[in-house]
Amino acid sequence: MGAAESTAEFHADRVYDVTDEEYVAVTQETFVGPAIDEFRHFEPIDDETTVYYLYVTDNSGRLVGVMSLRELLNAPEDDVVEEHMHTDLVTIDADADPEYAADEMADRDFPALPVIDTDDVLIGVLRTDDMLDVVEEEATEDIMKSAGFSFADVESSRSSAILESSIPKILRLRLPWLIVALAGGLMAGGVIERFEDTLEAVVALAFFVPVIMDMGGNVGTQASTIFVRGLALGHIDDRNAMRHFAREGLIGLLIGLIIGGIGAGAAYVWQIDEPYALELATVVFVGLVTVCVVASVVGYVIPWIMNKLGFDPAAASDPLITTVKDITALLIYFGLAAVLLSELI
């Protein structure tokens, strides 16, 4: 019995040093008094390390129970720890995905969880402090994937690998979803070409195309970032997905009404000397409202669909969201302009 050391690894394709190297464990036949002495004689390497629990094992090292330090100190010293330990254990498998481990700790609100191998042998302790690096790494991976990077070959935490890799490898990382974005841009160009006559008749329409597309991009990025983070942390699941979709649609509508009102006012003042100033302001208003609503909804729906299909939602989100909201917004923008400004075409 006594203090133990471990360096368990998590996740099959990555090595994470996320288990604490020190903990106190005794066998189930140990008396409470000697167990308390183990805590007294325990000297952590790191002065900031706090030991919260006493872990109880059998003679083969398999975890069979746990006691908090408070429970240990309150127990009679001539009792064996087996009489007071909790056997309903919450553990983390050594090969568990790091995001799952982080979610488990957050849901259970425990300061530490024991790590066991396939034989239930205690091999380490996972603390909340240990998970900070893991959560940061996973968040970095999601953010970089949402920008069009694929991490099939390179771990996200090692950004130097991206900077120092060969040019062909960098191309393999960056090109796949950029090609998707290119295809979306070409389709958006086809929409503009379809309304070429409208654009030639009212050149001022071109002034607001960047505004429409940029606002959609910003709103969509905000929505997808919030969704991917919520999905990764377990805050969004099958039970509450529809509620979040509806709520995000409402938020997009409110944002669109505010931004659309500002944009329409700017368009009217800008073109106030033109006979079509009011109609142009209306087109800009409807276009901005539409793109904000569409971007907000698809910013949630597309990552959700990608996740259900087994794809990484962070990797596919932004290019697909950009394609959908650009084409939808331009169709509505120029379609409405063709109707309201038909006399000028």
Residue partners of 287: CB distance under 8 A and separation at least 6: 208, 212, 260, 329, 332, 333, 336
Q: What is the pLDDT of residue 239?
A: 81
CA atoms of 25 and 115, how far apart (whole Å): 13
Taking only the tens of pLDDT, the chain with its 345 residues reads 454 443 333 333 333 444 445 788 899 999 999 988 888 887 766 655 667 788 999 998 899 999 988 898 899 999 999 999 999 888 888 877 766 777 777 777 777 788 888 888 988 887 776 666 666 666 666 655 555 544 444 334 444 555 666 777 777 767 777 787 788 888 888 888 887 777 777 777 888 888 888 888 888 888 888 887 777 667 777 788 888 888 888 999 999 999 999 999 998 998 888 888 888 889 889 889 988 998 888 888 888 887 777 766 666 667 777 778 778 888 888 888 888 776 655
CA distance 294 to 253: 9
CA distance 290 to 297: 11
E strands along the chain, which residues?
Answer: 2-4, 23-27, 53-57, 63-68, 92-93, 112-116, 122-127
Structure confidence at residue 254 (pLDDT): 94
Domains in the chain, CATH or no CATH each: 15-146 (3.10.580.10), 179-341 (1.10.357.20)
- Rounded to the nearest 5°, which phi and psi values hold at 23? -160, 170
Which residue do the tokens 């649609």 mark? 249
